Structure 1
């Protein structure tokens, strides 16, 4: 066996193993995350320091949701704090029979969806799904966030926050689920995360 052929086989095996571990999780029809996100006044307003940034809690936040898409980031200022964005869905936006009719993608810290025909009202898609920038509280949380894949149902709790730098840069979370476009994403300081299904 030539070296070139051996390298090719190794690369194919590696690609197959990587795909197997990252393949989307399927559940079949039915809502997998029925509850609305929970949000309340933050139990602390003391800034958290991370990588030279001050992170100010705005609201306590927890959510059980299906992962519609997950994208990792290593470049850009936001990546200093947030290595992954999760596009999350709840209610009927966690139902596979609905999601199969919606094309979902992420790019440039945004979440995009397209339909040929609406399986549920547009307003429901917009208010029951969101792109969320995840700021891990520690290395274990970061490891879990980076391992999450499409289709899993996750529980996340922490704060909606505003991150600030000494040069004036800031990154502020949306505090509502009914906004869209630039500024509508949640910036979540994640204290706890675990997979509940998948």
Structure 2
């Protein structure tokens, strides 16, 4: 009888593991540009607002539709309470599967990197059409929806690029251009609206 239950439990564990693999598998697309428009950014001057223990100052209204190139979740770094997930996003040529097959894309430590092969498009063009976004969900519903996004999803995010002040002299400021690279080049994005297709 005990052996029977061990077999049943093993089969259940295998099924759960297979379901998790299927659920986390990237969304595939045929070749072709999936998102042609660049992000829309409009600079603003608005007063700071409270968000938990933080003060967020809007710098720009921001609207981006893009293909998700990579997802990285954070639980223990200095910004994890504020921004629990980063998306590396691509638009224009960086939303095209035929282009992306010539790049390796990595995220970690709040950075993302793209590594081209010999047949890849120009790296500068690639970087102008991709960015790493530190996402601050405006509420728990958006937080849950962001957490469910997979590589390959097409998402539209709207909200504000912000600078942040928090406890213990914590500061964090968004980039306001897609042309920069390196430390400070990522968008710090307070997400108020989320759509996925």
TM-score over 0.5 for the alignment?
yes
Where do 5+ consecutive residues of structure 1 fail to align?
Answer: none
Residue 57 of structure 1: aligned partner? 58
Q: How many aligned residue pairs are there?
A: 195
Shift of the alpha carbon at 1:168? 1.6
Residue 140 of structure 1: aligned partner? 141
Matched, 1:34 2:36: yes
Tell me the distance in 1 between the aligned counterparts of 2:79 and 2:25: 27
- TM-score normalized with structure 2 length: 0.94
Structure 1 window deviating more from structure 2 (157-166 vs 115-124): it is 115-124
Residue 19 of structure 2: aligned partner? 17
Q: CA RMSD in A?
A: 1.3
Tell me the distance in 2 between the aligned counterparts of 1:7 and 1:48: 51
Where do 5+ consecutive residues of structure 2 fail to align?
Answer: none
Asked if the contact 1:144–1:194 (Cα under 8 Å) also holds between the matched residues in 2, the reply is: no
Shift of the alpha carbon at 1:166? 4.0
Q: Give the 5 Å matches for 1:21-170.
A: 21-42=23-44, 45-170=46-171
Tell me the distance in 2 between the aligned counterparts of 1:180 and 1:91: 18
Shift of the alpha carbon at 1:101? 1.1
SS at the partner of 2:184?
Answer: coil
SS at the partner of 2:181?
Answer: coil
Q: Give the 5 Å matches for 1:171-182.
A: 171-182=172-183
